[in-house]
Copies of this chain bind each other. A is one copy, B any other.
Amino acid sequence: MRLRVDPTSPEPIFEQLVFRVKEAIAQGSLVGGDRLPSVRELARDASINPNTVARAYEALEAEGVIVRRQGSGCFVTEKGSSLATNERKRRLDALVQRLVTEGFHLGFGARELRDALAERLSATPLPPRRDS
C-alpha cells in the first residue's frame, strides 16, 4: 500500500490522501475489510505529520468510506453512500458540470469528453457495487 503525496501542490495534503484512498477503492485495489496503513506508518512513509494522516482518516470516516478502530486500525467499509437520492444526484450533476465546463475551456468537445470517460471506464472497470 504505497500512497504518494505532493507537498508542493496547492491541494491540502490530507485531501490528497483522502482522494488517493477513494481512488484505490474505486479501482478495486482496496476492497471492503482491507486495512489501511497505520497513522504513524503512513506518516513515516510519506514524510508527513501523523496528525495530517489522522485528519485524512477522520474525513474518510465522516464520509463513511472507512471505519477507525482504536488499537486495531482503519478498515475499508462495505456499504455504499448513505446520502439521500436527491443529494446524490445533485452531487453527480455538479461533478459532470465541472467536467463539461473545464473540459470545454481546455478545448475539448462533446465527443472527446464522452470518449475520455469511456476510455477511463474500460481501462479500469469499476468494482461491483454491494448496495444496501
Chain A residues proximal to chain B, CB less than 8 Å: 19, 22-23, 25-26, 63, 65, 80-81, 83, 88, 91-93, 95-110, 112-114, 116-118, 120-121, 125-127, 129, 131
A91 to B104, CA, bound (A): 12
**A114-B117, A117-B117 as given contacts; A23 in contact with B97, CB under 8 Å:** yes
Provide a sorted-by-A list of 15 A–B residue pairs whose CB atoms are within 8 angstroms. Answer: A19-B101, A26-B104, A80-B107, A81-B106, A83-B106, A88-B106, A92-B116, A95-B98, A96-B99, A97-B120, A98-B99, A100-B117, A100-B126, A107-B129, A107-B131
Among candidates B95, B107, B118, residue contacting A114 with C-beta atoms closer than 8 Å = B118
Query: Contact: A100 with B131, CB < 8 Å?
Result: no
A65 to B105, CA, bound (A): 8
Query: Contact: A110 with B95, CB < 8 Å?
Result: no
**A107-B81, A107-B88, A109-B129 as given contacts; A23 in contact with B120, CB under 8 Å:** no
Query: Contact: B88 with A25, CB < 8 Å?
Result: no
Closest chain B residue to A125, Cβ basis: B110
Query: Contact: B121 with A114, CB < 8 Å?
Result: yes
- Smallest Cβ distance from A108 to chain B, in angstroms? 6
Query: Contact: A93 with B106, CB < 8 Å?
Result: no
Query: Contact: A109 with B126, CB < 8 Å?
Result: yes
